[in-house]
Amino acid sequence: MPYLGLIVMILWIVCLVDVIVADEHAVRNLPKVGWIFVVLLVPLLGPALWIVVGRPDHGFAPRRPVAPPSAFPEYDRPGRHVAQRSGEDEEFLRRCRERAEEQRRIAREQRQKNPDADGESVG
């Protein structure tokens, strides 16, 4: 039995890494930080408890098909910002239009001041 300590250490390291990389919402029965403390502080029982009662279920439930990633990944995140007050959205859009018009006006003035620079590319 000289290898029992090595086996316990390998199990401890594997379970600790597994707890760290597990998704926070998928961990069962305790928060993720709680499982880290259990695995760290209870040498043989902690990793065994993690495997039996804490580890997320992978492969036991039928997997749902994963939707293909969209061209705009910022919209795929849960909890992304959704406008709550349409009045604020209208105000924001009005300011965006005003800023765009101001930028167009400045660009027209610059083109009128320097007409030979318009359309030429360096290279």
pLDDT at 98: 95
The Cα–Cα gap between 29 and 92 comes to: 44
Note down pLDDT in tens along the chain; length 123 residues: 678 888 888 888 998 899 888 888 888 888 889 988 998 898 788 888 888 888 887 655 545 556 666 676 666 666 555 666 666 678 888 999 999 999 999 999 999 998 776 555 554
| C-alpha Rg value of the chain to the nearest Å | 29
Alpha helices, DSSP H, located in 26-74: 32-41, 45-49
pLDDT reported for residue 115: 76
Question: What's residue 85's pLDDT?
Answer: 66
Looking at residue 123, its pLDDT comes to 45
Tokens of 28: 């069962």
Contact present, 26 and 62 (Cβ < 8 Å) = no
Q: Give the DSSP letter string of 18-76.
A: HHHHS-TTT--SS-HHHHHHHHHHSTTHHHHHIIIIISPP-SSSPPPPPPPPPS-GGGT
| Chain centroid, CA 72 distance in Å | 14
**Token pair of 111, please?**
């083109």
Inter-residue long-range contacts of 109-114, CB under 8 Å, 24+ positions, other chains counted: none
| CA–CA separation, 28 and 55 (whole Å) | 6
